Homo-oligomer: A and B are copies of this chain.
Amino acid sequence: MVYTSEHPIFYVTTDIVVLTLMDGVLSALAVRRDEDPHAGELALPGGFVREGEDLDAAARRRLADETGVEVDELVLEQLRTYGAPDRDPTRGRVVSVAHLSVIPAPLAASPGARTREALWLPVAELPGTLAFDHNQILDDAIERTKAKLEYTALATSFLDAEFTLAELRSVYESIWGSELDPGNFQRKIRNSEDFVEPTGQTRRSPSGRGRPAELFRARKRRTEQLASPLTRVAL
């Protein structure tokens, strides 16, 4: 491999914003850094991309390594690349390709084997607590997530494979911070081509009371475009 030195040298990292709903609270995964730039501070999981490694493969690997989050069909999309010249002055020119991932709460609650100090922080309680430009990255990720709920099947990524429409509705309500009419929500989802499909089974509500709800599964594999957007259903 030929490295001509006529061009400046960069290091490339990936940072991953992993979002989940912990009891209805939008939360992001953070790790406490033990290496020196910003050692001891909180940051997004991430790290250097290896030789011959794809950008999203690096994100997947670091996520598994640092936090134990490892899924076969993990929703992971590129968010944006952050490359301000002074964003990591101690280590040279470091460009970070940020990724966004959304996982179901139960998965989030079971830390894997190699988990160091990884913790879920409600995004509302993160005014400026993260190292580097990670607060900016987190903000961008949240904005993108809110927007994508409207025109993709992303909401289902916060839930397990099978879910009730009430659970799905509560994803929207939690993230948008507004209440949705249950009846109208029901119709919109059922009428959206290719969004969800019934499993034929039902599940009783956690309290045990009330009519059992039908179970659905996502038809689109999680974050694809919807035929028609959902338009923030009103109260």
Q: Which residues of A contact B (CB under 8 A)?
A: 1-4, 7-12, 48-55, 78, 80-81, 83-85, 90-93, 95, 97
Question: Could you say which of B3, B7, B54, B95 contacts A48, with CB atoms under 8 Å apart?
Answer: B7
Q: Of all chain B residues, which has the CB nearest A231?
A: B229
Q: Of all chain B residues, which has the CB nearest A89?
A: B1
Q: Which residues of B lie under 8 Å from residue A4 when comparing CB positions? A: 91-92
**In the complex, are the beta carbons of B12 and A10 less than 8 A apart?**
yes
Given contacts A81-B55, A84-B54, A85-B54, contact A90 B9 (CB under 8 A): no
Given contacts A9-B9, A11-B9, A83-B97, contact A2 B55 (CB under 8 A): no
**In the complex, are the beta carbons of A12 and B90 less than 8 A apart?**
no
User: How many copies of this chain?
Assistant: 2
Distance in angstroms between the alpha carbons of A92 and B53 in the assembled complex: 13
Q: Which residues of B lie under 8 Å from residue A49 when comparing CB positions? A: 8, 10, 83
**In the complex, are the beta carbons of A10 and B11 less than 8 A apart?**
yes
Q: Which residues of B lie under 8 Å from residue A97 when comparing CB positions? A: 81, 83, 95
Known: A3-B92, A8-B50; 12 extra A-B contacts, CB below 8 A, are A2-B92, A4-B92, A8-B12, A8-B49, A9-B9, A9-B11, A12-B12, A12-B83, A53-B85, A54-B83, A54-B85, A81-B81
